[in-house]
Amino acid sequence: MEEIPRLTFPSFFAATISRFSHRDALALVGEKPITYQETHGRILAVMAFLEKLGIRPGDKVAILSTNQPNWGVAYFAVTFMGAVAVPLLPEFLPVEISTLVEHSETRVIFASEGLLPKLEGITTGLLQEVVRIEDFSVTRSKSGRPLFEASATPAGVYEVEEDALAAIIYTSGTTGTPKGVMLSHKNICFSAISGHNIQPIRETDRFLSVLPLSHTYENTLGLILPMYSGACVYYLGKPPTPALLLPALLEVKPTTILTVPLIIEKIFRSKILPAFTGNKVVNLMYKIPAVRKMLHKVAGKKLLATFGGELIFFGVGGAKLNKTVEQFLIESGFPYAVGYGLTECAPLLAGFNPQHPRLQSTGPACKGVELKIVKADEHAGEGEIWAKGPNIMKGYYKEPGLTGEIITPDGWLKTGDLGAFDADNNLFIKGRVKSMIVRSNGENVYPEDIESVINNFRHVVESLVVEQKGKLVALVHFNKEEIDLRYQHLKSEVSNYAEQKIEELRIELQEYVNSRVNKFSQVQLVVSHADPFQKTATQKIKRFMYV
C-alpha cells in the first residue's frame, strides 16, 4: 500500500483514484456497481449542490438513511469540503432525531425516502433543507429548492486538515444529555489503517454491508477502509432479513462481512446446534471431543457455502462473542475475526484476523495504540482498560465536562471496560465497569459471563443478569415459538403447554447455570422475560433499562 501523506478523507480518496479509478466502488445488490471514477463525479456534484445550499466548512449536515451508495457519496461530499457529517441511526424516533438535529446545529439533512416522514415535525431554527438522498432532490427548503446538477463541480477549493472535525456520532439521544462523539479525519483514517494492518484488504475484495453506516464500526471499517484499499461495497438497500440476505450472499459472494455476535450466535443456535443435538445417537457422539471437531468441520464448510463460498474475513465486533459459538468457529475453520473498540476511538483498539484466533480474546492492541490496565488495587486480577493513540476522539460535542471525565489531562481515554492481558499481550474483556456487580461479601461478579452460560441453554434467545434486593436474578427471554413447534404433539393433552414448558425450563435453567459458575455467581432466581430486550445499533442489550 502506498504511503498516504495526510490522514484525511480527500487524501485517501485521491490516492485510491490514482490507482483504482476504474475499479467498482459502491453498489446496490442486483444493480451495476459504480466505479471510483463515477463515485468521484457524484461527490463533486453533491459538493457543488451543498455550496448552493449555503454549506461552508464547519457546518453540520446530517444523514438519516438506509445503507446505499449515495450514503457514502453524501458523507464524502460533506467531509471533503470541510463540513461535518452527523450520521443518525434509522431506528431513531422522531423526537430523538429532533433533539439531535437541534443539538448538533444541523443545517441540511440527507434522508432516504422511507425515513422522510420522521422529519415532518422538525422545525429547528438552523435547519434549512431536507434532501432526498436517492436523487438529491430537495423535499423541504427555506431557500427556494435549488436543483441538483449531476455534472456540476464545486466552485470552492477546500483544504482539509487532519485534525479537522469530520463527524459527530451520537451514542445516545433518548434520555438525558445527548453525547455526540467528535471524530476528526485523523481519528477515523488512522482507525481504518489499523483495520488494514489487522487484515489487509485488496482491490478485488467485495464487502457486503449489513450494519448501519451511521454506526462508527460499519462507517470506518465498512466504508473508509474499503475506499482506502480500492475494494467494492455492496448494500442491501433494506434491513438484512434472511429472505433478503441469503440470495444476496449467493449473488455477491462476499469476501468480507462485518457483523455483531448476535448474527452468528443466532445461526449457530437455530441451524447448527440442533443438527447435533436433535438425534440421541448424534448427541452422544457430539460429546466426544474428536467427533465434535469433525462434525464442526463439516458444518463449517456448509456455513461457508451459505455465505457465498468465498468469504475470507467474517469480522465480529460490538459485543463479546459467546464462548461456545467461538469454539465452534475455531474448530470449524470458519474465517472469523474479532475486534474491540468504542465509538470514542473511531472505533478500533484491538483485534485479530482469521489466521490468529484466540478464544475469548480480542487479540493485541492495534499498531500505534497504547492500552493499559488500571487496577482498583494491586491484588485485582483485572482493571479498567485505558487507551491512548491518534484515534482517540476530540471530545463530546458541547460537553467539556463529560469529556474531562473520560479523557485524562495526559490523553488517556477511560473505556469503561474491564479487562486483562495474557502473557502474549492479548486483551481479554471481562465486562463493563458499570455492569459489574459487587456482592455483599466483596466478590466481583461479571453478569456477561453468567449470561454467556445462560444463552447456551436450549430455547434461550437472550438473557440479562441483574442484582435485585441483594440477589442475582436472571431475566431470560425464551423462544416461545420454538417451544410451540418442538412440543406441539402435546398441545391436545396440555393446555397452555408452552407456558408450562417455560416454567419447567426456568427451574432447570437455574440448576444448569449454578452447576457451571462459581458460588459467588450463582443465580437465586430465573424470571421469564416475555419480550425481546431493547438493543443498541450493534445489538447490545440496553442494560440500563432493566437494572
Rounded Cα gap, residues 255 and 205, in angstroms: 6
**Do 319 and 260 form a contact (C-beta atoms < 8 A)?**
yes
Reference 386, options 401, 407, 368; nearest CA is 407
Backbone angles phi, psi at 153, to 5 degrees: -130, 150
Given this model, what pLDDT does residue 119 score? Answer: 95
Q: Which string of b and e fits 392-404 if b means at least 16 CB within 10 Å?
A: bbbbbbbbeeebe
First to last CA, the chain: 48
Query: Hey, what CATH topology would domain 9-19+33-186 get?
Result: Rossmann fold (3.40.50)
Residue type, 353: N
SS3 content of the chain, % helix, strand, coil (to 5): 35, 25, 40
Q: Classify strands 106-111 and 206-209 as parallel, antiparallel or unpaired.
A: unpaired
Could you give the 3-state DSSP secondary structure of residue 316?
A: strand
Given this model, what pLDDT does residue 379 score? Answer: 64
DSSP-derived secondary structure letter, 8: S
Q: What is the CA radius of gyration of the chain?
A: 24
- Asked if domains 9-19+33-186 and 440-545 share a fold, the reply is no
Give Cβ neighbours of residue 469 (< 8 Å, ≥ 6 apart).
none
282-261-394 Cα angle (round to 5): 165
**Mean pLDDT per 10-residue segment, the chain (547 residues):** 78 96 97 98 98 97 98 98 96 90 96 96 87 96 88 97 97 63 98 97 97 96 97 94 92 97 90 87 92 96 96 94 95 97 97 96 97 80 93 97 96 95 94 83 81 88 90 91 69 63 88 89 91 81 82
Rounded Cα gap, residues 79 and 534, in angstroms: 33
Beta bridge partners, 233, equal: 26, 207
Helices 69-80 and 9-20: crossing angle, nearest 10°?
120
Cβ atoms within 10 Å, residue 297: 13
Residue type, 474: A
Rounded Cα gap, residues 432 and 178, in angstroms: 20
C-alpha cell at 466: 441483574
Question: Where does 86-239 have alpha helices with state H?
Answer: 94-104, 185-198, 216-219, 225-229
Report the predicted TM-score, pTM, of the whole model to 2 decimal places: 0.89
Backbone angles phi, psi at 140, to 5 degrees: -150, 135
**Superfamily of domain 260-432, CATH level 4:** ANL, N-terminal domain (3.40.50.12780)
**Do 80 and 49 form a contact (C-beta atoms < 8 A)?**
no
Given this model, what pLDDT does residue 174 score? Answer: 38
Query: Hey, what CATH topology would domain 440-545 get?
Result: GMP Synthetase; Chain A, domain 3 (3.30.300)
DSSP-derived secondary structure letter, 461: E
Could you give the 3-state DSSP secondary structure of residue 167?
A: strand
Per-domain residue ranges of the chain: 9-19+33-186, 260-432, 440-545
**Do 317 and 215 form a contact (C-beta atoms < 8 A)?**
no
Quick one: which H or E segment has residue 452? helix 447-454
